[in-house]
Amino acid sequence: MRNLLIAGGAGFIGSNFVHYILERYSDYRVVVYDKLTYAGNLDNLKGLERDPRYAFVHGDICDMDRVEETMRQYKIDAIVNFAAETHVDRSLMSPGSFIQTDVYGTYVLLEAAKKFGIERYHQVSTDEVYGEVLQGSSRESDMLAARSPYAASKAGGDLMVYAYFISFGVPTTITRGSNNIGPYQYPEKVVPLFITNALDNLPLPIYGDGQQMRDYQYVWDHCEAIDIVLHKGKPGEVYNVGTGVETRNIDMARMILKLLNKPESLIQHVTDRPGHDRRYSLNCDKLKALGWRSAHTFEQALEKTVRWYVENEWWWRKIKSGEHYREYYERNYGQRQVLK
Ligand code: NAD
Ligand code: DAU
């Protein structure tokens, strides 16, 4: 496997994966295929322009002609699909683009995989497809019970991937990951939002009681898991990716403030997210059987992440001062009531 098409490679996890692959495999060529939505950012790939093993194609995964042209031009052997609309709050405000990219776009890439007879199609999916899990942990064979338009679109994509494996024999794999943190995460997601707000002494808006739990993993560990599944995973299979360590939002916020030496009075409880899933939990035995282990504890992951945002203001200030971000912030947070 030499020529990888990384769809959505200018986003948070996709760009980390591009850096990871180029560092890890000297004989791989990476073609980033990305629409550059508000979440796609060429700053995430800065410095790679000089690497002959890297190429960038500006394109939409819903555009069949452009996808096929790229497959042909770069003789693609495998597709890794990160491209998606990814923010739950935005999916509550405007679900249409989620269905378009996360379901239809996945179909277009699968069609290309089928037509060009490639070695592997890998879909990067999420633990949110299992829905809220109040007790126990989700296994890969569990029913999909998505509860937000984002999660439902991702579940639709996963089902399409499986259908292409069963119906057409496309060699697919899927990973379903828990919440990632680390460099280049757009500051709409809670961890970079809280870090950057705290740095500016702005309130940290906690939805509802803040007792919701998430399994936060370091993005590089997730990239390693995708690498393992891409090379050792069995076609047609799904693999969960998480650390098994759950952290309440309120505790995560307090830890960020402590790391930055900021007061807890910055925490502000605000109106909850509609349909807010209180907990996800993954059983990752299948992935561990392939040899994967998460390399970072939650504390290490959070500390590294905080340090990166402290040291890379150039990256996030550009985003946060932009009109798109300010409009989004007003739309999502302007109407929320402060609870206490
Ligand atoms: P992101 O929002 O940071 O990046 C998404 C990227 O996809 C951007 O570069 C964007 O420009 C691109 N994109 C969007 N629509 C496109 C289209 N129609 N055509 C081409 N490119 C398009 O996302 P992320 O957080 O890096 O997530 C990447 C993938 O991982 C997603 O599929 C997401 O569902 C999944 N995932 C994310 C997390 C997480 O915690 N962030 C956890 C598990 C799984
Ligand atoms: O679980 C994997 C998923 O993690 C990915 O599939 C999604 O793409 C990614 O966005 C993420 O979804 P979440 O909804 O869990 O992430 P978010 O950062 O939006 O929120 C994390 C938790 O923090 C959640 O319980 C909601 C809460 N939250 C979020 C925001 C943005 C707040 O309390 N306040 C906020 O302002």
Nearest atom, ligand 2, residue 188 CA: 31
Mean pLDDT computed over 244-252? 98
CA atoms within 13 A on the CB side of 261: 2
Is 249 close to ligand 2, i.e. is its CB under 6 Å away?
A: yes
The rounded distance, in Å, linking the Cα atoms of 242 and 282 is 6
Q: Tell me if the pTM is above 0.75.
A: yes
Is 3 close to ligand 2, i.e. is its CB under 6 Å away?
A: no
For 14-25, how does the pLDDT look when each residue is reduced to its tens digit (9 = 90+)? 999 999 999 999
Mean pLDDT computed over 159-164? 98
User: How far is residue 305 from each of residues 23, 69, 84, 246, 320, measured CA to CA in Å?
Assistant: 20, 37, 23, 17, 17
For 106-134, how does the pLDDT look when each residue is reduced to its tens digit (9 = 90+)? 999 999 999 999 999 999 999 999 999 99
Nearest atom, ligand 2, residue 148 CA: 14
CA atoms within 13 A on the CB side of 197: 25
Q: In the CATH hierarchy, which fold is given to the domain comprising 185-214+245-275+297-325? A: UDP-galactose 4-epimerase; domain 1 (3.90.25)
Asked if residue 140 has pLDDT above 80, the reply is: yes
Mean pLDDT computed over 169-188? 98
Buried b (16+ CB within 10 A) or exposed e, 259-291: beebeeebbbbbeebeeebeebbbbbebbeeee
Nearest atom, ligand 1, residue 127 CA: 43
Which residue, among 64, 72, 54, 67, has the nearest Cα to 7 in the 3D structure? Answer: 67
Question: How sure is the predictor about 1, in pLDDT bands with cuts at 50, 70 and 90?
Answer: low
Please measure the distance between the N-terminal and C-terminal CA atoms of the chain and give it in whole angstroms: 55
CATH class of 3-180+218-241: alpha beta
Extents of the domains making up the chain: 3-180+218-241, 185-214+245-275+297-325
Asked if residue 340 has pLDDT above 90, the reply is: no
Mean pLDDT computed over 278-303? 98
Give the pLDDT of residue 239.
Answer: 99
Asked if residue 207 has pLDDT above 90, the reply is: yes
Is 71 close to ligand 2, i.e. is its CB under 6 Å away?
A: no
Whether 14 and 8 have beta carbons less than 8 Å apart is answered as yes
The rounded distance, in Å, linking the Cα atoms of 61 and 76 is 15
Please report which ligand is nearest the Cα atom of 251. 2
For 24-70, how does the pLDDT look when each residue is reduced to its tens digit (9 = 90+)? 999 999 999 999 999 999 999 999 999 999 999 999 999 999 999 99
* Residue 127 designated active-site: yes
Which residue, among 105, 8, 103, has the nearest Cα to 61 in the 3D structure? Answer: 105
Taking every pair of C-alpha atoms in the chain, what is the biggest distance, in angstroms?
Answer: 57
Give the pLDDT of residue 242.
Answer: 98
